Structure 1
Amino acid sequence: MQQLLAGGVDTISATLAWALSLLLNNPNVLEMARAEIDKQVGRERLVKESDTKNLVYLKAVIKETLRLHPVVPLSVPHESIEDCVVGGYNIPKGTRLMMNLSKIHRDPNTWSNPHEFQPERFLTSHQNFDVKGQHFDLIPFGAGRRMCPGDTFALHEMRLTLASLIQQFELQTPSNEPVDMSESFGITVSKQMPLEVLLAPRLTRDMYGLGP
């Protein structure tokens, strides 16, 4: 249970850090996400979990974040249970296999401008792609019977948290400097430099029950 909880907390927090970093480095995308939230939810109340199903652009932002920065870029090891041929290679029984998810997610044969942050691709050319293991070009949670058991929870948590931050705060970096996107390796692939964000409230204090 401790491993399940630790795995869930670390992966969600790392993905949210990547998402915020990408949004801060792409202010036009941040403004489009904010405009969608203002249209679908407004500023008279706080965003709720039930609202996230209508935040199509926000979902695209999270998909694009998971494509560019899967927190586990090499899949959990698998083992072939029988001899097989994959892509012309003979794989004998008992071979331990690890897929390079980061390489798959940046394959130029599938993704145009694969190294660029373009959430719009999931509203146009890749609008039918999901992250549930049904499209093998985008499998941040893995696929099949061994895929991540917490994918549904993680997606709900990331959508609600990111939507709440965008709705409630003006976000910017100190001195408006770009966020350092270099990586560090541990249990997951996280940002090397800490994410520093300046927060200014967007909503009235009444919404928080604080009065004028």
Structure 2
Amino acid sequence: MRNVNAWAIHRDPTMWSDPTSFKPERFENWKSEAYTHMPFGMRRRACPGEGLAQRVMAVTLGSFIQCFEWEKVDGKDIDMAEKMHTMMCRVEPIEAMCRVRPHMVDLLS
């Protein structure tokens, strides 16, 4: 059994232009490039909840955008510098304030 190095595949300069930059648009048409990225693993070790996770994340993000107004706390630009850990995350976490949109108050309470 071989292990798949998803980290290396996602940063392969022969497959991606500028492989170390965050460009989510690369994955918009991922069905046609099935083995160029593997966020949920492959084969026997693939995540059984991949389909559900992708649908739930889309609904959750849409709900956050629809139900809340978002503002930066300090008004400064967001630092998008990354650091490698178990997962890729920002060096400085984003701080944001949210306020329920007026027309959503009854729905959310």
Query: Cα deviation per residue 1:83-110 (whole Å; 9 max; x = unaligned)?
Result: xxxxxxxxxxxxxx451x2231132322
Q: Where does the alignment leave 5 or more consecutive residues of structure 1 unmatched?
A: 1-78, 81-96
| Residue of 166, 189, 193 corresponding to 2:87 | 189
Counterpart residue number, 1:111: 16
TM-score (norm 2): 0.69
Rounded to whole Å, the distance in 1 between the matches of 2:41 and 2:71 is 33
Q: How does 1:69-88 map to 2 (within 5 A)?
A: 79-80=1-2
- Give the TM-score taking structure 1 as reference length: 0.40
Structure 2 gaps of 5+ residues are none
Q: Is the 1:104–1:138 Cα contact (8 Å) retained in structure 2?
A: yes
The reply on whether 1:174 has 2:73 as its aligned counterpart is yes
Number of matched pairs: 105
% identical equivalent positions = 30
Structure 1 position 201 matched with structure 2 position 95: no
Higher relative contact order (CA 8 A, sep 6+): 1
Paired AA for residue 87 in structure 2: V
- The residue correspondences of 1:23-172 to structure 2 (distance < 5 A) are 79-80=1-2, 97=3, 99=5, 101-114=6-19, 115-119=21-25, 121-122=26-27, 127=29, 129-130=30-31, 135-172=34-71
Compute the displacement of 1:160 (Å): 1.1
RMSD of aligned C-alpha atoms? 2.9
- Structure number with the higher helix fraction is 1
User: In the superposition, relative to structure 1, how do residues 136 and 122 fare at CA in structure 2: closer, same or farther (>3 Å)?
Assistant: closer
Aligned equivalents of 2:80, 2:105: Cα separation in 1: 36
